[in-house]
Chain A
Amino acid sequence: MSGNVGQERDLAALMRAAQAGDRRAYSALLFALLPLLREAVRHRFPFLQPHDIDDLVQDVLLSLHASRATYDPNRAFLPWLGAIARNRMADGARRYARRAAHEVATEQPLETFPADAANSSATGYGDTQALGQAMAALSPGQRQAIELMKLQEMSLKEAAAATGMTIGALKVSVHRAMAALRKALASRD
């Protein structure tokens, strides 16, 4: 990550103010960094979609926030930020490689199962009223977890950020909610 001398000086001044607790300077700093970080991520991963680029940029911003006490006001700002960005991009690359290693792109497979009941051509659950009632019977936390992760299709990370819950707690909520829904709907069949 590189920048000209004036930009470096301005960003360092904003960071110093942010360390002192100046929220306006911090907001200005983070918005000023957005195009730099997006460009750095795009340069490193030219194949990523915009929302994936933003995911990585957000990782860098979260790390910057958590590590802001490690910035030495007497030193240059951009190399410090660059080290954080490189580290989080390396994390992103590892995550991407892991995902690629476990996923195979295929055409929509034709599904047949031994049990006739499973060979349904329906695309969704038929009894929406029953499903609505079963959803209403869930605890508020479980309902919110299902809404975010199954209906809005958020990732665990996004849902954790939206609710403030930990990823572990979310996994437990979704698991319990799905078990409760299955039980409630099975008892009607």
Chain B
Amino acid sequence: MDTNELIARLTADLEPVRPLRPPWARAGLWLALALPCVAALVWGKLNVDASLVASDVRFLVEEAATLATALTAAYAAFASAVPGFDRRLLMLPLASLSLWLASVGHGCLQDWIRLGAEGLAIRPDWDCLLLATLIGVVPAAAMIAMLRAAPSLRPRATLALAALAVAALANFGLQFAHVRDASIMVLTWHLGAAAVFAALGGWLGERVLAQPDRLPAR
């Protein structure tokens, strides 16, 4: 197609758009939408002794790290969709993710010292996986809807970060809902699921958020 004709078609297609809010505001909005849905799903299954929670440093550290991972990954996902973003932002969730991983790893070590090989036994926990998936549905839908406001120049990174944010938020809720498991179970089913979701997001990125190669449909 002739470039002048393309410009005429793009001009004819022009609709007013509201500039997107800054990434931190969009990440905050996503959390504000998603967190109540997570809370509502978890509320009926609360399995936390409030008097013990305050003194359980590992639980508090893990929950803080998980929530921080969700927030920073969401911020990085929204920022990565804006042309000219600072690539260092892609690394933003690393600190909280490392803390989360370190805390769970420390728990695994303690279980091993305390219980030996039995402390590192991995059992399938389908109820937990089902609840995690249910908790993740609304945050994931909200995230995709918000990201699809514009295509990303780095769709794989954007959707991988978005998936990490959703998985981290689901884990944050899940920790309140089920009995404190052995750390190896958390490592396998929570962090493992987060890694799978992030990889899946990276794989799907170009299909969901790719740059256009043709005129928008009328």
Q: B-contacting residues of A (Cβ < 8 Å)?
A: 18-21, 23, 26-27, 30-31, 34, 54, 57-59, 61-63, 65-73, 79-84, 87-88, 91, 157-158, 160-162, 164, 166-167
Chain B residues near A26 (CB-CB < 8 A): 10-11, 14
Chain B residues near A88 (CB-CB < 8 A): 211
Checking B22, B84, B216 against A83 with a beta-carbon cut-off of 8 angstroms, the contacting residue is B84
Besides the contacts A70-B20, A164-B218, what 10 more A-B pairs have beta carbons closer than 8 Å? A21-B14, A30-B10, A62-B212, A80-B83, A80-B84, A83-B84, A84-B153, A87-B83, A157-B213, A166-B214
B17/A87 in contact, CB under 8 A: no
Checking B1, B18, B19, B218 against A58 with a beta-carbon cut-off of 8 angstroms, the contacting residue is B1
**Per-residue CB proximity of B13-45 to A under 8 Å, as 1/0?**
111111110100000000000000000000000
Chain A residues near B149 (CB-CB < 8 A): 69
B10/A65 in contact, CB under 8 A: yes
Checking B7, B10, B83, B217 against A67 with a beta-carbon cut-off of 8 angstroms, the contacting residue is B83
9 contacts between A and B (CB under 8 A): A58-B3, A62-B6, A62-B214, A69-B17, A69-B149, A73-B19, A80-B84, A83-B85, A164-B215
Chain A contact surface mostly:
helix
B3/A34 in contact, CB under 8 A: yes
B216/A66 in contact, CB under 8 A: yes
Q: With the chains together, A176 CA to B72 CA distance in Å?
A: 49
Closest to B213 in A: A157
Q: With the chains together, A27 CA to B4 CA distance in Å?
A: 10
Checking B7, B81, B153, B212 against A30 with a beta-carbon cut-off of 8 angstroms, the contacting residue is B7
Checking A66, A69, A166 against B211 with a beta-carbon cut-off of 8 angstroms, the contacting residue is A66
Q: With the chains together, A30 CA to B1 CA distance in Å?
A: 16
B54 beta carbon closer than 8 Å to chain A: no
Checking A20, A58, A66, A73 against B150 with a beta-carbon cut-off of 8 angstroms, the contacting residue is A66
Chain B residues near A68 (CB-CB < 8 A): 17
B31 to chain A, nearest CB (A): 21
B13/A65 in contact, CB under 8 A: yes
A69/B150 in contact, CB under 8 A: yes
B207 to chain A, nearest CB (A): 12
CB within 8 Å of A: which of B71-119? 81-85
